[in-house]
């Protein structure tokens, strides 16, 4: 028996990622198409689905103690680093000032939203 319960740690990370994914899905489906996503997990990350995907792969790597899944997690993380700025440029063109303000107060990956001049978009 190992000292660190790796399967349980992986399971907890997976459950957190699952909650984020469900929340993202709900808020994406309920946000009007002419507005950027700013509710649910979106005040904490401009890309919560990418964060959740990475956490799911990481949780599988930990729970199964698999270096293959760890490598896949790293590769996926690199793709997220490449695609996130392009997605943000698209959102800037589509939503304009609303998205620009959202970017000023919301971290790209994960963190505490900046509450200065906070307005609900």
Secondary structure string (H, E, C) spanning 73-117: HHHHHHHHHHHHHHHHHHHHHHHCHHHHHHHHHCCCCCCCCCCCC
Residue segments in the chain with a per-residue pLDDT below the cut of 70: 1-3, 115-121
pLDDT value of position 112: 79
pLDDT value of position 121: 42
């Amino acid at each position: 028996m190992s000292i660190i319960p790796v399967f349980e740690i992986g399971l907890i990370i997976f459950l957190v990622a699952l909650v984020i994914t469900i929340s993202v899905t709900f808020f994406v489906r309920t946000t009007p198409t002419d507005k950027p996503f700013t509710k649910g997990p979106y005040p904490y990350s401009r890309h919560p689905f990418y964060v959740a995907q990475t956490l799911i792969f990481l949780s599988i790597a930990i729970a199964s103690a698999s270096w293959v899944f760890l490598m896949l997690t790293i590769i996926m993380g690199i793709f997220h680093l490449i695609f996130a700025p392009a997605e943000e440029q698209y959102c800037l063109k589509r939503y304009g000032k609303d998205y620009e303000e959202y970017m000023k107060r919301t971290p790209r990956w994960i963190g505490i939203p900046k509450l200065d001049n906070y307005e609900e978009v």
